[in-house]
Structure 1
């Protein structure tokens, strides 16, 4: 389905900074391409922002993407409850149509020079029925960037996710260490361990952000700061 210009962003868990990294990758790609789009098949969790019901991830991505997209074009399905999308869709009586998501992605890709796709939760989170984000990643065939939450258990979580990505026939192009604002014991040693074992390129480390910078939806300034600590994969 896909010309591999762009990335699919996944993570070792939910709430690990995928949106911040996706936004940072868009910011970096904008230095190479005139029109860079964002795409997230589904989000779960809406709140009022300036009197409008919206999702924080979509708001953040819409600030940095520059391919002239509407919120609906960035994210075809926005569910109200912050929980697993396939379960929320059932509760809210919404049928997630995978073919509709495919068509939305193709439209997005045709109107951009590069696209960054962000998953939801971890790599195998279901989208609809037995169809997961891993299945969608296989279809669009973009190189994968993995966000690793640097906390206890991160080595196991990262290696398992990398194995899952490889098992689906996808290329882990790079990975990002997100400190999550915590002082993890032996942080640098853990990063070195992952560098020695993960197949993808180490793209950088996200430092702790101030309370105002870490507030969601992320501001464009926060996304640009994150981009300054990362690099695009080479080759």
Structure 2
């Protein structure tokens, strides 16, 4: 598989905004690109079945048209930790089950932007986390840092854990999720100094921004990833 794995310092830090924006920015270059959401917890029933807003956003931004079930192979109704929602529904979230489904979804030559759920170490199957899925896919990681109090610790711990699993941290994206954060620029600069990967982009605080509104900020990130990540 050729692509990147998008993780975040926590839930609610803008992973989908970044992932869908990157997909749209890559699509602008003429690349075959698809966004994937392996596990989504928090969905509404529709005539076509359960649908998750994040997965729909990734699908809409993609230049490769995939059925919903391939974009989001596990869609769970309750908005809770995925392993808890999966246990209630009797659904298998093991890496051995998820990884082949994702790999089969991506056409030859296409770029996959795989968005995790919550943070890096969100539990999935017994003894496993989403980090194990990223390892199985062998994808470099892009870390979304939500700029708010506590982000320094969360970002540095996440980067350390990514390195411990032998995956490259391709870069990180600063997302201004709290417009009144004290010393936001100083926090960003601290991470520039300490994270072992480049700052790919910095997104301003724009509530509910759709991909077209953030693509301009992410075009440089796509360029810095050399038009397509390793794989």
Provide the residue aligned with 2:217 in structure 1: 229
Q: Indicate if the aligned counterparts of 2:16 and 2:58 stay in contact, CA closer than 8 A.
A: yes
> Which residues in structure 2 correspond to 1:194-213 (within 5 Å)?
194-210=191-207
- Does the residue aligned with 2:172 lie in a helix, a strand or coil? strand
Match of 1:177, SS state, is strand
Give per-residue Cα distances to partners, 1:50-91, cap 9 Å, x unaligned: 996421111111110121101100011000101111111111
Q: How many pairs align?
A: 223
Does the Cα contact within 8 Å between 1:37 and 1:108 map onto a contact in 2?
Answer: no
- Paired with 1:82 and 1:112, the residues of 2 have a C-alpha distance of 34
- Asked if 1:68 corresponds to 2:68, the answer is no
In structure 1, C-alpha distance between the alignment counterparts of 2:95 and 2:11, rounded to whole Å: 22
SS at match of 2:5: strand
1:110 paired residue number: 107
Partners of 1:203 and 1:58 in 2: how far apart?
23
Matched, 1:10 2:17: no
TM-score (norm. length: structure 1): 0.88
Q: Secondary structure of 2:114's match?
A: strand
Q: Which moved more, 1:174-183 or 1:12-21?
A: 174-183
Conserved? CA contact 1:40–1:75, under 8 Å:
yes
Match of 2:42 in 1: 45
- Structure 2 unaligned blocks of 5 or more: 227-231
Using a 3 Å threshold, how does the CA distance of structure 1 residues 97 and 199 change in structure 2: closer, same or farther?
closer
The answer to whether the 8 Å contact 1:76/1:104 transfers is yes
> Which 5+ residue runs of structure 1 have no aligned equivalent?
none
Q: Report the TM-score when normalising by structure 2.
A: 0.89
Output the CA distance in 1 between the equivalents of 2:204 and 2:166.
Answer: 31
Does the CA contact (< 8 Å) of 1:179 and 1:206 recur in 2? yes
Establish whether residue 124 from structure 1 lines up as the match of residue 124 from structure 2. no
Match of 1:87 among 81, 84, 87: 84
CA 1:58–1:163 in 2, change beyond 3 Å: closer, same or farther? same
Give 1:29 deviation, angstroms: 1.6
Match of 1:158 among 152, 155, 160: 155
